[in-house]
Amino acid sequence: MASRPVLTAALTALAPISWGTTYAVTTQFLPPDRPLFTGLMRALPAGLVLLALTRVLPRGAWWWKATVLGALNIGAFFPLLFLSAYRLPGGMASVVGSIGPLFVVGLSAVLLGQRPTARSVLTAAVAAFGVSLVVLKAAGALDSVGVFAALASTASMSTGTVLTKRWGRPDGVGPLALTGWQLTAGGLLMAPVAFLVEGAPPALDGRAVGGYLYLALANTAVAYWLWFRGIGRLSATQVTLLGPLSPLTAAVVGWAALGQALTPLQVAGMALAFGATVAGQIGARPPGRGARPVRHADGSLTPKGARLSAGRP
């Protein structure tokens, strides 16, 4: 049914839209200057809740696969993202993050055997340019550590997205369990770093508890479940092209809830980025469909690229 990919893309888009509220929640509800503790509180409680709900643990090779994916998508991504945001001025971290689709296009060619198209490269570039118009502000010299952290966080999440697509899921395991594995692994990896760098947890009032509950449940458990569910049903490029919705949502929330002004140039950038995101969904073919079949000597047909299926270990 033609409506199924559209519905899947719409549901997956709720993940980056939710992530776009993180800045407002963090600045308005949470203790200041505790990015690692905030990342830990997002990941580990959410992962443990999902483990309790699904009651499914990894088996065999999936112990190390879940650890690798948890490190890439959560454990390394969160600290690097926060580090870049603290050290780079004027939304530069979001600009670097918006080139994630270009990373995924390249990695998909290597790991999934998906040849990049001019359309996918163009839409990814336009989306990154649109985001830069929204969030980039004039600034002095860039901090080299911040730039490296931003590039590393983007590469980490992009690699995790493509590997999630390549490895698929074990038989009988749903996206909710896979999400719980990754969040738990990522949270456990972050825990010692958070306590070594930031010390003991801060005192929390009611507002902070409410903020952390929102981040752990809606912003992380539900959002990452939708994200990994989308990776299983859409192409990796389709999914990552939804990423620019995060900084766009942050800009809209800042305007609507925090009184931050939007200039005409920012509005134009939002239109460009959103248009590229939509074009990336409309122009893509669902995985496993629409590819030209390969005819073998015995007359049988195999869809092109079937050898590199999403579930291949």
**Closest among 170, 158, 147 to 60, alpha carbons compared:** 170
pLDDT computed for residue 254 by the predictor? 82
Which tokens belong to 302?
């195999």
Model confidence pLDDT, tens digit, residues 215-225: 999 999 999 99
β-bridge mates for residue 303, sequence order: 293
Question: What does the alpha-carbon distance between residue 43 and residue 49 come to, in Å, rounded to a whole number?
Answer: 10
Model confidence pLDDT, tens digit, residues 25-46: 888 898 888 888 989 999 999 9
Task: Estimate to the nearest angstrom the gap between the alpha carbon of 259 and the chain centroid.
Answer: 27
pLDDT computed for residue 294 by the predictor? 41
pLDDT computed for residue 205 by the predictor? 94
Model-level pTM? 0.82
Question: What does the alpha-carbon distance between residue 47 and residue 222 come to, in Å, rounded to a whole number?
Answer: 11
Q: Which residues contact 236 (CB under 8 A, 6 or more apart)?
A: 104, 107, 108, 112, 114, 161, 162, 165
Domain boundaries, the chain: 3-285
- What residues in the chain have per-residue pLDDT under 50? 1-2, 288-313
pLDDT computed for residue 131 by the predictor? 85
pLDDT computed for residue 176 by the predictor? 95
Q: For the chain, what is the mean pLDDT?
A: 83
Question: What does the alpha-carbon distance between residue 234 and residue 288 come to, in Å, rounded to a whole number?
Answer: 10
